[in-house]
Chains A and B, each alone.
Chain A
Amino acid sequence: MAEPLLEVRNLSVTFHTARGPVEAVRNVSWQVAPGEVLAILGESGSGKSVSASAVMDLIDCPPGEITSGEIIYRGRDLLKLSADERREINGKRIAMIFQDPLSHLNPVYTVGWQIEEALTTHGTPKDKARVETISLLDKVGIPNPEASARKYPHQFSGGQRQRLMIAMALALRPDVLIADEPTTALDVTVQAQILALLEQLQHETGMALLIITHDLGVVAEIADRVVVMNAGEIVEQGTAAEVYANPQHPYTKRLIGAAPGKGAIHDDPPTTEPILLLQNVCKKYGEFEALKGCSFELCEGETLAIVGESGSGKSTTARVLLRLEEPTSGRAMYHGRDLFALTPRELFEMRRDIQMVFQDPTQSLNPRMTVYQIISEAWAIHPEILPKARWRERVAELLGQVGLKPEHAHRYPHQFSGGQRQRIAIARALALEPRVIVCDEAVSALDVQVQAQVIELLDKLKDEFGLSYIFIAHDLPVVRDFADRVIVMQKGQIVEQGPVRDIFENPRETYTRNLLAASLDPDPEVQARRRAERLSKEVA
């Protein structure tokens, strides 16, 4: 192996929080060589980003403090350099891109200005920087580089913004590029493009690439070596293929075991009557058509997944169905009645039957209400369900059903982890004894292991209570494991629907095929095969 270019040795960082010092990482060591791709893999709170922040001098002190360790770059310990010397290296020798490029680009300056600044900060003359900026924009695949340079970040799409970040980071041809969750908020097809761009640029420049991610698929797609972190410590490292095929540490084994997309496909969709029938549903926002005539049905006891990229209209479908927003036209037949034509009184009663679980339980649960209040509020609104005397008992029962404890009833949402909060949200939905639950990206924000647990819970509850789910997701492997039937949406229209096995193994439409091809498999071997196919297609 080549000489390491950047090496972190025995790094420990402590954060001083209101509740006292927390050791975010302990004795972390890794290294990356020129031309190599190293991935740091970990779940939220594992401390996977901390060492990269330390490399970039982005840890605020206080509250963060590097208590021990060295960061060796080209033979010098970065931690012993002055702030000015660190700034010389930042952006010029070691550059970084982040998750969520929209908030990481300054909203009030043109993107051209921001890329030029990366150059001029390190001494490039202004006129030269301008020319260089245009060619960089061209290189990362931004159309109309000259005109685009004069635009502002909000005028680009999510994928383009990440391209802009990459252009900015690569302006001075750094030796090391650190990418912190670079594709996490992006659609799968865009994710594939960004990863391909990073790889291509790395081949051209020979830089070292450090990718921080929670996604085994990203590791499988791009990484040579992987460092697995848990609770602030490195538990395992090795080549990506080695670690996946033969994990040593129990944590890694659990992580790989929880990766979705490997379970049994549901082959026995319930052969029941449809309970919900959507006909030609349209939704316009001004001129923009979010839904262009969608029709589908949901059978009793079925899990129907709606997949699609951002802007495909999948969430709009859910919101319209629940009458959180009014449809422009169409019908939604439920037990012989049109949900869209109900009077307010009828709608109020109907709301009991169709409940929703949202993506982010931190936002969808009222932070000032206890779990007991959150769940029992349903019965205050619909008193016919349960007499007040039985509320306490029933809350405890519901909490038990979602895998929480009765004593949790008197805590507040912030006292729970993300996965527990989503369980509370599910218990809240169940309190109304609904027939249908709409899960809008209900597991997207969760770590894979928690995701697997929540999916398992949903599956169990379905059988227990005879529920039907509409499961909206962008994550195809999760859908593959969980759904009975799949609807694929694009630009407000349904492009394909069918049983889950047909969609995943025998997709008819090009769009579905592209979507599946772009989704990442946690197995590096599978990913290598897909890449070979992709490349051969590109050549042909």
Chain B
Amino acid sequence: MKKFLFKRAISSAISLLLLIVAVFFLSRLTGDPTDLYLPVDASQEARDNFRAINGLDQPLIVQFGRYVWDVLHLDFGDSIRRARPALEVVIEAFAWTLQLALITMFLVSLAAIILGSLAAFKVGGFFDRIATFFSLIGAAAPDFWVAIVAIVIFSLGLGWLPTSGTGTPLHWILPIAVLFIRPFGLILQVVRGSMINALSSAYVKTARAKGVTPKKQVFVHALRNGMLPVITVIGDQAAGMLNGAVIVETIFGFPGVGKLMIDSILQRDFSVILAAIMVTAIAIFLMNILIDLAYAALDPRIRY
């Protein structure tokens, strides 16, 4: 297991390095930042000055070398727009996204696992119909539309919930609810399929022959086996959310990393983009390790 984690860390480090390189060259392809930051009628002198301050007058290779050196020291430079260290700005935003993602994914997983298991226990039964309904909704409803309709109904119409921003627990309800829908439908389907498989397996038959209650057949014997494919999908969905739930964060004015990234791209705030990419990449790497650990915890055949 340790050896496995070590290997995993090495391969992730290589991926991160490649990512650093790619980010630099791709961001330079989009144009000279000077054109964006300075007014169109800025003097040549002002432009040169700006370039000198930000090191943009150096040859590309020197810029690249300095960039790699800085990144390796976790120095992403200052946000040009905010005049603060980019990393600080990103971590602040990332903390918001992380909370949002953790709460949402926790609720999604809990609900999907319980409802999916119940649906699988009696295929075609009451819970199975509910599960089918939610899966369809999850697959069919685009989140930007749901978000807007939710604002219209619950904020503007009923006046129960705030339209945007943060501050009170009430501010969290709509973003979480909207983010919930799609992964819930998807994970529900995976849980249901995987549990139908697990419940028809031979070891559940053994449990029945032992006189184990149906509740334990489902939630003790089948669930732990049925969770293996589910964990992969949960991880995948969580990764998507950590990358920033761009649409939801933008609509609800939520100060997360998704919104920050979009803003920074529009403003050509390279340092922030770079820091955001690195932070989310590391977060996703850590989450993959968590998934591997969860796999090993659930399935002894991986451990031994």
Q: Encode B260-304 as 1/0 by CB contact (under 8 A) with A.
A: 000000000000000000000000000000000000001111001
Of all chain A residues, the one with the shortest Cβ separation from B213 is A87
CB of B146 within 8 Å of the partner chain: no
**CA separation between A410 and B213, bound complex, in Å?**
49
Whether A100 and B208, one on each chain, are in contact in the complex, defined by CB atoms closer than 8 angstroms, is no
Contacting pair A90 B210 (CB below 8 A): yes
Are the C-beta atoms of A152 and B300 separated by less than 8 Å?
yes
Q: Would you call B259 an interface residue if the criterion is a C-beta within 8 Å of the partner chain's C-beta atoms?
A: no
Whether the pair A121, B210 counts as a contact (CB closer than 8 A) is yes
B210 adjacent to A104 (CB under 8 Å):
no
Bound: A521/B251 CA distance, A: 78
From the candidates B208, B299, B301, B304, name the one contacting A57 in the complex (CB within 8 A).
B208
A433 adjacent to chain B (CB < 8 Å): no
Stretch at the interface among A91-99, A289-297, A528-536: A91-99
Contacts of B211 in A (CB 8 A): 87-92, 118, 121-122
Given A91-B210, A117-B212, A121-B210, A104-B299 contact (CB < 8 Å): no
* Bound complex: CA A90 to CA B301 (Å): 29
Task: Label chain B's interface by main secondary structure.
Answer: helix
Are the C-beta atoms of B304 and A90 separated by less than 8 Å?
A: no
Assembled-state Cα–Cα distance A58/B205 (Å): 7
Total number of B residues with any Cβ neighbor in A under 8 Å: 21
Task: Please determine whether A106 and B221 come into contact, CB atoms closer than 8 angstroms.
Answer: yes
- Residues on B with beta carbons closer than 8 Å to the beta carbon of A88: 211
A117, chain B: closest CB distance, angstroms:
7
The reply to whether B208 and A168 contact each other, CB–CB distance below 8 Å, is: no
CB closest chain-A residue, reference B205 = A58
A539 at interface by CB-CB < 8 Å:
no
Q: Is the CB of B304 within 8 A of A152?
A: yes
Could you tell me the distance between the alpha carbons of A291 and B304 in the complex, rounded to whole angstroms? 26
Contact at A107–B206, with CB atoms within 8 Å? no
Render A24-61 as a binary contact track against B, CB cut-off 8 A, 1 for contact: 00000000000000000000000000000000111000
CA distance A109 to B225 in the complex (A): 10
Interface residues in B194-214 (C-beta closer than 8 Å to A): 201-203, 205-213
Question: Given that A103-B201, A103-B203, A108-B224 are known contacts, is A56 also in contact with B209, CB under 8 Å in the complex?
Answer: yes
A155 at the interface (CB under 8 A from B): yes
Complex Cα distance, B206 from A105, in Å, reads 7
9 closest pairs, A vs B, by CB? A91-B211, A90-B211, A91-B210, A106-B203, A103-B202, A152-B300, A96-B209, A104-B202, A87-B211
Q: List residues of B whose CB falls within 8 A of some A CB.
A: 201-203, 205-213, 216, 221, 224-225, 298-301, 304
Contacts A95-B210, A152-B300 supplied; 9 other A-B pairs, CB < 8 Å = A87-B213, A88-B211, A96-B209, A104-B206, A106-B207, A107-B301, A117-B212, A152-B304, A154-B300
